[in-house]
Amino acid sequence: MPQPYDVKNFFKYLGYPGGDQPYWSKDLRTLSVYCRGDAANLAALLEPTPFEPADDRFVVQIADFGNATPGAFYDSGIVIPVRYKGTTAVTYFFEFEDQPWSVAFGREVWGYPKQYAEIELTDDEDGARGTVTRAGSQIFRIAMSAREGHSSDAWSDMRLYPHLQVHALPEANGPGFKTFEIISRDTSKDFVLRHKSFGPAEVDLSPALSVNGVELELVEVLGGEYSVGDYACTVENGISTVIDDLLADPAAQDTRAAATP
């Protein structure tokens, strides 16, 4: 072992980059279906987290990061608007990806609740459709038909950034957590939109979308949008910011709060 040992060298073994490394994905394809849920149901789902719901709407998404510089992967999940200590944002509450390294990267570095699944996303002139499955069981399916005259009016006021996630590391030899941080990320400032279309949409959710015995409820499908654009996770905007540390002593929390804009 080299002396002194550089711990950053361990990322070569883990197979993914550190949280301060920028990356890009040109021609990112994203299918988003906007839904109305039940406010009480969303509050019950969020109960185990430090967040509270900020809206009764949520988004079901599938994205193709096939040109991502660290490696190709698909991403999918359920995005819920939340509030935390006066900050209004969204959290990826359920999230699935199709590459083991990308699941570990997003989960361990930034706290996204990623799990492995098989993901498909296809598109043509009539719209787009996608499915998320695991071990032969469908987790969810979404589809959108591109139609002239349709718009995003039913969800244009929703804020989809920043992302607030819980970056938590359990203790190796105890019942609690060694790290429990709230992190914020906002890559939207560097995204370059190339194309977007709107239309009526369909959603099929399964009981796999549940936490602590509470299953995500769908009340209404508002519509969908399909976009293509260039994604960037830059040092300026894509690297996470720790906005709170629930395990820090009070003096450290006061210092962090004073430094947070």
CB contact at 8 A, 246 and 181 = yes
pLDDT of residue 254: 53
User: Which band of pLDDT confidence, cut at 50, 70 and 90, is reported for residue 24?
Assistant: very high
pTM: predicted TM-score of the whole model, two decimal places? 0.91
Mean pLDDT for 235-244 is: 94
Q: Considering only 13-22, 132-141, 195-204, which range has the smallest mean pLDDT?
A: 13-22
Bridge partners for 97 per DSSP:
75, 116
Res 96: pLDDT:
98
**pLDDT level of residue 261 (50, 70, 90 thresholds):** very low
Q: What is the DSSP string of the chain?
A: --SS--GGGHHHHHTS--TT--EEEEEEEEEEEEEE--HHHHHHHHTTSS-EES-SEEEEEEEEETTBTT--EEEEEEEEEEEETTEEEEEEEEEEES-HHHHHHIIIII---EEE-EEEEEEETTEEEEEEEETTEEEEEEEEE--TT--STTTTT----SEEEEEEEE-SSSSSEEEEEEEEE--GGG-EEEEEEEE-EEEEE-TTSEETTEE----EEEEEEEEEEEEEE-TTTTS-EEEEETTS-HHHHHHHHHH--
Span 135-168, pLDDT tens digits: 999 999 999 999 998 999 999 999 899 999 999 9
Distance, CA of 22 to CA of 203 (rounded, Å)? 33
225 pLDDT above the threshold of 80: yes
**Adjacent-strand bridge partners of 124:** 127
Distance of CA 198 to the CA centre of its chain: 21
| pLDDT greater than 70 at residue 255 | no
Q: What is the pLDDT of residue 249?
A: 75
Tens of pLDDT, residues 30-66:
999 999 999 999 999 999 999 999 999 999 999 999 9
Nearest 5°: the CA angle 167, 203, 195 is 80
Q: Is the pLDDT of residue 171 over 50?
A: yes
Tell me the average pLDDT across 9-15: 93
pLDDT at 2: 63
pLDDT at 126 over 80: yes
Question: What average pLDDT does this structure show over 205-234?
Answer: 97
> Backbone phi, then psi, for 135, in 5-degree steps?
55, 40
Q: What is the pLDDT of residues 68-109, one digit of tens each?
A: 999 999 999 999 999 999 999 999 999 999 999 999 999 999
Percent of the chain with pLDDT over 90: 92
* pLDDT surpassing 80 at residue 257: no
Contact 89, 70 (CB under 8 A): no
User: What tokens does 120 get?
Assistant: 């498909």
Q: Is the pLDDT of residue 256 over 70?
A: no
Closest CA to 146 of 130, 127, 129: 127
Whether the CB-CB separation of 258 and 187 falls below 8 Å is answered with: no
Question: What's the whole-number mean pLDDT along residues 235-250?
Answer: 92
